[in-house]
């Protein structure tokens, strides 16, 4: 009997994945990862500060344990707190210091879930490793999940190709409502549990207050990108992302506005006013940290610049082994340095790069 080690998160997706694997006759073992110390954080001076209302990891573990007990399989637990800090959280903070918008979920998958976790699973005798991701692997290719609304290949696109060997995604061929239906039909503890949202180590806490535990606030001017006039004060560039329209910090001005750029050296946040979002538009970007999962190296394909964004047709110009210029003459909005550009050829996820700079009409956007 072949052994599958399942990454148990305490959510409904990994719970159903575990059930489906057991139904197929595998010897199933659960493994729960603890990646964040939810009881203590350090402030900007390095002093520990106790936090409440944090990411409920212990509840997640208890839910995972309850499911494993219901399915009569063992559950192991492993801490990757230091490794997560070194490879994911430090990256997150460093990107914010550069004025970029990082995506820690991609790095968590790359360095933790599909690296360290795989090694730990092998110690438990795994022939295969499974997770509750909405994705599929067929003939060595990473394919989108059947449920377009839940497809998670975007978050897997920085994982090295070789790390997908012997990986199973049991819910990738299902829609979310089918997963819920299965969980309800067998009365799993997690059947009605809400999906987690946002960044796990922040949880339900205020984003800015959380960041201030680690990065010293550095207020500065908010400048109108057209008039170059100061129109307000920001609380620190790390607190804003390109395209943001709410809580920008321009008091007394009711005209619609949005964040369109940052100057880290001068500590300036640029905003544009009005409904016209031309300052969010670009027609090309440069991506680096290239990771190809596929053997394909197309000139023409499609790309996603954010998880919930729509695929757009792009042309790839390979500048070197680790740098690609991605062109999209039909324009795209809010393409943001630090985010991932994930490439697709139909259903197949080809891989990704991290957006380094954004261009329009052949020139780098000066306000980004």
Instruction: Collapse the DSSP code of 205 into the 3-class scheme (helix H, G, I; strand E, B; otherwise coil) and give the result.
Output: coil
The token pair that represents 137 in the structure block: 């692997």
- SS3 (DSSP) at 331: strand
Of 68, 108, 341, 349, which is the active-site residue? 108
As a dihedral over the C-alpha atoms of residue 130, residue 132, residue 118, residue 3, rounded to 10 degrees, the angle is: -20
Torsion sign (Cα): 217, 358, 312, 334: positive
Find the catalytic residue in 68, 200, 260, 341. 200
- Report the chain's terminal Cα–Cα distance, integer Å: 55
Q: Are 287 and 356 in contact (CB under 8 A)?
A: yes
Cα–Cα distance for residue pair 42/39, rounded to 1 Å: 10
Active-site residue flag, 200 = yes
CB distance 170 to 16 below 8 Å: yes
Length of the chain, in residues: 368
Residues 6+ away with beta carbon under 8 Å from 212: 44
138: β partners = 141
Q: Establish whether 349 is a catalytic residue.
A: no
Q: What is d(CA 196, CA 190) in angstroms, rounded to the nearest whole number?
A: 12
Strand ranges, E, within 225-322: 230-234, 257-263, 268-273, 281-292, 300-304, 312-320
Sign of CA dihedral 152, 153, 157, 161: positive
The residues carrying an active-site annotation are 108, 200
């Amino acid at each position: 009997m072949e052994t599958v080690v399942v990454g148990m998160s305490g959510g409904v997706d990994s719970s159903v994945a575990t059930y489906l694997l057991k139904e197929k006759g595998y010897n199933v073992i659960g493994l729960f990862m603890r990646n964040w110390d939810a009881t203590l954080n350090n402030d900007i001076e390095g002093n520990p500060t106790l936090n409440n209302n944090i990411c409920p990891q212990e509840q997640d573990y208890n839910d995972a344990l309850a499911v494993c007990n219901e399915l009569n399989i063992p559950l192991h637990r492993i801490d990757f707190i230091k490794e997560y800090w070194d490879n994911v959280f430090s990256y997150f903070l460093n990107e914010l210091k550069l004025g970029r918008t990082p995506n820690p979920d991609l790095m968590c998958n790359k360095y933790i879930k599909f690296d360290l976790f795989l090694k730990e699973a092998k110690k438990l005798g795994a022939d295969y490793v499974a997770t509750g991701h909405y994705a599929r692997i067929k003939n060595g290719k990473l394919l989108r999940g059947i449920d377009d609304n839940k497809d998670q290949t975007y978050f897997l696109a920085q994982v090295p190709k070789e790390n997908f060997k012997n990986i199973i995604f049991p819910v990738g061929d299902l829609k979310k409502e089918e997963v819920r239906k299965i969980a309800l039909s067998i009365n799993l503890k997690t059947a009605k549990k809400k999906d987690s949202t946002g960044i796990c180590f922040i949880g339900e806490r205020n984003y800015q207050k959380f960041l201030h535990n680690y990065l010293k606030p550095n207020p500065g001017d908010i400048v109108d990108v057209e008039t170059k006039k100061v129109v307000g004060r920001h609380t620190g560039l790390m607190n804003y992302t390109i395209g943001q329209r709410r809580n920008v910090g321009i008091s007394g001005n009711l005209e619609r506005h949005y964040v369109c750029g940052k100057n880290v050296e001068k500590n300036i946040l640029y905003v544009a006013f009005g409904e016209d979002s031309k300052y969010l538009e670009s027609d090309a970007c440069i991506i680096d940290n290239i990771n190809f999962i596929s053997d394909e190296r197309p000139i023409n394909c499609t790309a996603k610049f954010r998880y919930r964004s729509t695929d757009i047709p792009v042309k790839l110009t390979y500048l070197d082994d680790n740098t690609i210029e991605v062109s999209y003459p039909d324009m795209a909005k809010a393409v943001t340095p630090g985010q991932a550009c994930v490439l697709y050829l139909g259903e197949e996820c080809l891989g990704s790069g991290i957006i380094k700079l954004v261009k329009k009409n052949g020139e780098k956007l000066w306000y980004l």
